Amino acid sequence: MRAYLQITGALFGLIAVVHVLRLIRHWPIQLAEYSVPLWASWVGLIVAGALSIWAVRLLRATDRAVPSN
């Protein structure tokens, strides 16, 4: 469980950083003939950031719950 939380927390954190970079640099995204608007990165940033924070909090909670010998 610990490795899963570390990996997902890092991946969602990285995705959130890419969304921030897209918002700052105004990178265009084109899917077939559809241009993805910048506001979609705000949604992606909030979702990915929330999932990353959630994973980190769960990781910290499991660290406190497991007694160390």
Binned at pLDDT 50, 70 and 90, residue 1 comes out as confident
Whether the pTM exceeds 0.75: the reply is yes
CA separation for the pair 42, 56 (Å, rounded): 21
CA distances from 10 to 24, 29, 40 (A): 21, 23, 21
Q: Tens digit of pLDDT for each residue in 8-48?
A: 999 999 999 999 999 999 999 999 999 999 999 999 999 99
Q: What is the pLDDT of residue 69?
A: 59
- Residue spans per domain, the chain: 2-65
36 backbone dihedrals φ, ψ, rounded to 5° = -75, 125
Greater pLDDT, 56 or 63: 56
Q: Where are the beta strands (DSSP E) in 1-69?
A: 29-31, 34-36
